[in-house]
Amino acid sequence: MLPAIPADSRRLADVLSSAMAAFDGKANPLRLQPTRSALVVLIDGLGHAQLAQHRGHARALGSASGKSLVSGFPSTTAAALTSLATGTLPGSHGIVGYDALVPGIGVRNQLRDWGGEMDPDTYQRSEPLWSKRTCAIVAEAKYAASGFTRATLRGADYIGEDNLDARVQAAAQALRSHELVYLYLPELDRVGHKHGVGSNEWVSTLEMLDAHVGELAAVVRGGMLVTADHGMVDVPTERHIVLGSALDGVKEIAGEARARQFHLEDPDFAEQAAKDLREEFGDVAWAVTRSDLVSSGWLGEVDPLVLPRIGDVLLAAKGTWAFYPGEGDPAMGMVGQHGSLTDEELRVPLARFGVWSR
């Protein structure tokens, strides 16, 4: 059985929709006060637990963040950023993993492999919220024309700046001409994957990003929120599990190392496959069928057209374990990882500034 959805079920999907409601002075899940302008900053890979552990290195964020949100499952960038942009959960928008099955085509990466059957205008099934207001997206220039950008960020003006300082300055400038500005900061996630959470490199990056948050908070005249798409755990090499014979009967492997989705050669054996995985890995992972995952509510209401994208069986890591199809999997080189259902991955900060600090 999967963990229950927390009773405090405010989600990352509530952030943008709450901001939009605040523009109209309407009640909203995050109880944001009315405002005429807003800045939403997303720090990729910063979990609530990691921020709490390193609060001394993040004065701006540490002083403003006592609350948290549930990012959602799977706790991975493609799914989480789509939920933020659309206000819907993976069962509706259809981005159900880092890698996911495109029915009739095969497993495709949900950040990079757009085109063909992954049409940005239709494969992502929920309309992004950006067109409801005059919005600007400030992110790295290299993503401006990507399929994922088209799928999740259409309806906003895209301002591309690869340099971090220039990106922050561009966000501050965009507040003069746009009602809502969304600033995406991927630096911490990259460092966490390479060096691990709490490493010297990670802490230095957190300090740098926190300084920029403080700069922005000083110039914002409306509301400002800082949040993240997921947290991260360090996976030591002694907790790498090579699946080996556990893949017997598996046709396609999707998801990622901490949240594997298996599409079976014969889906009728899903119950037995999940049982076998529980017997082998029950101490270190949750193993459930697609039906179990859907009924758990983690994906929200699942559209029938999204259902085939989800694996017949799910294997989600507990603790700091991770699962690999074979030796030499490139993902074994990553120290920090995410995707599963632990609090360290699911819980992300919600730091409030400006008129939303009250």
Determine how many CB atoms are found less than 10 A away from the CB of residue 158.
17
Tens digit of pLDDT for each residue in 105-141? 999 999 999 999 999 999 999 999 999 999 999 999 9
The whole-angstrom separation of Cα 136 and Cα 336 is 30
Question: Mean of the pLDDT values across residues 328-343?
Answer: 96
* The pLDDT value given to residue 84: 98
Question: Mean of the pLDDT values across residues 3-7?
Answer: 89
pLDDT(267) > 90: yes
The whole-angstrom separation of Cα 105 and Cα 252 is 11
The whole-angstrom separation of Cα 111 and Cα 180 is 24
Report residue 65's pLDDT band, with 50, 70 and 90 as the boundaries. low
Return the minimum-mean-pLDDT range out of 9-13, 229-233, 279-283: 9-13
What CATH number is given for 237-337 in this structure? 3.30.1360.180
Residue 269 structure tokens: 């054996």
Question: Mean of the pLDDT values across residues 297-309?
Answer: 98
* Top-tier CATH class for 14-234+341-357: alpha beta
* The pLDDT value given to residue 9: 73
Report residue 6's pLDDT band, with 50, 70 and 90 as the boundaries. confident
Could you give the residue range(s) of every CATH 3.40.720.10 domain in the chain?
A: 14-234+341-357
Cut 0.95: pTM above it: yes
Helix (H, G, I), strand (E, B) or coil at 273: helix
Question: Mean of the pLDDT values across residues 55-70?
Answer: 90
Question: Mean of the pLDDT values across residues 239-261?
Answer: 97
Question: Mean of the pLDDT values across residues 158-173?
Answer: 98
Question: Mean of the pLDDT values across residues 245-271?
Answer: 97
Could you give the residue range(s) of every CATH 3.30.1360.180 domain in the chain?
A: 237-337
Question: Mean of the pLDDT values across residues 93-109?
Answer: 98
The position carrying tokens 């950040």 is 111
